[in-house]
Amino acid sequence: MDIKERLQQSIENAARQAVQDGAVALSEIPPVILEVPPQKDFGDFATNFAMQAARPARTNPRAVAQAIVDRLNEPWLDKAVIAGPGFINFYLKSDWLYNMLAGILAEGEQYGQVVLADKASRIQVEFVSANPTGPLHVGHGRGAAVGSALANLLRAAGYDVATEFYINDAGNQIDNLAASVNARYLELLGQSVDFPEDGYHGRDIIDTAQRIIDREGSRYLLIPVAERLAVFKELALNEKLAGLQEDLEAFGVSFDVWFSERTLHKGAIQETCQVLRQNGYMYETDGALWLKSSAYGDDKDRVVIRDNGVPTYLAADIAYHRNKLERGFDTIINIWGADHHGYIARVKAAIGALGYNPEQLEVLILQMVSLYQNGELVKMSKRTGQGVTLSELIEEVGRDAARFFFIMRSIDSQLDFDLDLAKSRSNENPVYYIQYAHARIASIFRQAAEAGLPVDDRCPTEYLKTLISEFETDLIKKIGEYPAEITAAARERAPHRIARYAHELAGLFHTFYNQCRVIGVEPELQTARLALVKAVQNTLRHALRVLGVAAPDKM
């Protein structure tokens, strides 16, 4: 338990004691929220707890605050001061800072890994799940970066996490893929053909058709069209799926499971519909089977099986989510594009109709990405004249910059991706700024090694007490916030918080580096500063690992 959690617990205990003593009338203790004050004069932490408790207690906030302060008696607490209408500012004794740093150093590179009391919580994160009909574009890239970082974050917070890509390899989009490849195949062989109305026009379709010709020539002209389409469907699907996997691996994204939609059409959809019937949430009208999704808050009931017996997309999605829940996940997280917002209610309704808790499904909606270069919106690829692909973006700005820029903003907001900034080697580029901090640390340790100075994760606490400048203490406090930041970011499903934290920590380190000499000062202070720098390095490495960004030793 870090110092912030200890203080929160102490406030809660003091509030309970005040209730027991009759000093405050509360039937329920409100949550204790601690903030770091904007000015150091206001202490190490502050809370508005008394103001939150005053209304249900029907008393003055300052009276509640006084009741809390009177019942706080912790050896690490210097004083608690009531301010304004009822804020409480807490001033901690200096020893807590150095004891905390010693504990951080003792954890070494494991610092930031949180151990949860509830080890039974299993979470599945499904993301990207792009149709395997062409290359990934920048929108998929944002989903890939955020999804993989979220999985890393949840693991760091102590959860048992599995990642999954749902392969949409059944349905019209795959039929259209085959028809598109067939049309390009015929064109390349000199035949006149009407291109499919819903076909795919990307350059990659032409390339696929050309590769078929390079391998097999014109022999597919000799077989019936239906047979040729079936062959092209499998060839194109396998090629596009391999391309997706290659692009994702190049982006530092891997999946524990690649789940094929086709497997659901071998009985799972029918079994799922039977369960819905048995539970009373499916009915037949005009030959079609309908889900009573309105019973769970959807604006209307939805068709699951059409009157011709063909399942809708919703049918496969219901069977898929049933499959997920049957695998024993406590929480399933889907990351979807903004165009899927209206789909959430019907899937949650289906989960409820199947007998599960709809709240087991969490859907994170990812807003759009706009690319800018030289201040102007970039819509088309320079190479193909079509949308910019993920692989082209990585080639342009590098994997680390692409990942960081995708993650650094909340997914709730549209992302304006500045290509010029992402490529720049300047302090204005946030990922460069963070990586440069790590490279500076590595340089310090190389100098220490040349000077024969030992650098490890241990340092006597009495040495650490020589770290008294504000540049040092600010750095220690920021490092100490990291486990709580991991926990909060995981709870909020917000990996952008870790990107922001890493940038703030790097900023404090750069300030420390410019103000405090590390090597060549008095021996005890030198040892302490090397230990502090080691703690910064471990924390930055962990944060960058969560984000899927490299921690370079040289730049």
The model's pLDDT over 171-182, given as tens digits with 9 standing for 90+, comes to 899 999 999 999
What value does the mean pLDDT take over residues 259-274? 96
Instruction: Kindly indicate the confidence band of residue 478, based on its pLDDT and cuts at 50, 70 and 90.
Output: very high
What value does the mean pLDDT take over residues 37-50? 91
Whole-Å CA distances, 160 to 120, 121, 351: 8, 6, 22
Quote the tokens at residue 301. 């009931």
The verdict on residue 64 lying in a domain is: yes
Select from 177, 186, 165 the least CA-distant residue to 236: 177
Same domain, 73 and 32: yes
Quote the tokens at residue 304. 């699951």
Per-residue pLDDT tens for 53-68? Answer: 998 988 999 999 999 9
In this prediction, residue 3 carries a pLDDT of 83
Whole-Å CA distances, 430 to 105, 128, 293, 488: 26, 25, 45, 22
CATH of the domain at 465: 1.10.730.10
In this prediction, residue 525 carries a pLDDT of 96
The lowest-confidence range among 107-121, 156-170, 416-430, 458-472 is 107-121
* Residue 31: pLDDT over 70: yes
Quote the tokens at residue 215. 């391998």
In this prediction, residue 118 carries a pLDDT of 58
* Residue 121: pLDDT over 80: yes
What value does the mean pLDDT take over residues 458-467? 92
* Residue 119: pLDDT over 70: no
Same domain, 484 and 393: no
Give the contacts of 451 (CB within 8 A, at least 6 positions apart): 519
Chain centroid to CA 249: how far?
17
The lowest-confidence range among 300-304, 364-368, 454-458, 463-467 is 454-458
The verdict on residue 508 lying in a domain is: yes
In this prediction, residue 382 carries a pLDDT of 63
Per-residue pLDDT tens for 186-225? Answer: 999 999 999 999 999 989 999 999 999 999 999 999 999 9
Residue type present at position 241: L
Same domain, 8 and 79: yes
* Residue 117: pLDDT over 70: no
In this prediction, residue 454 carries a pLDDT of 81
* Residue 386: pLDDT over 80: no
Residue that terminates a domain, selected from 93, 127, 160: 93
Instruction: Kindly indicate the confidence band of residue 4, based on its pLDDT and cuts at 50, 70 and 90.
Output: confident
What is the tally of structural domains in the chain? 3
The domain in which residue 64 lies consists of 3-93
CB contact burial 475-512 (16+ within 10 A = b; e otherwise): bbbbbbbbbbbbbebbeebbbbbbbbbbbebbbbbbeb
Same domain, 380 and 464: no
In this prediction, residue 383 carries a pLDDT of 64
Same domain, 58 and 19: yes
Instruction: Kindly indicate the confidence band of residue 77, based on its pLDDT and cuts at 50, 70 and 90.
Output: very high
Instruction: Kindly indicate the confidence band of residue 379, based on its pLDDT and cuts at 50, 70 and 90.
Output: confident
The verdict on residue 281 lying in a domain is: no
Instruction: Kindly indicate the confidence band of residue 466, based on its pLDDT and cuts at 50, 70 and 90.
Output: very high
Residue that terminates a domain, selected from 407, 423, 439: 423
Same domain, 413 and 438: no
Residue type present at position 70: D
Residue that terminates a domain, selected from 93, 121, 155: 93
Same domain, 417 and 452: no
Mean pLDDT of the chain: 94
Same domain, 50 and 14: yes
The verdict on residue 204 lying in a domain is: no
What value does the mean pLDDT take over residues 321-345? 95
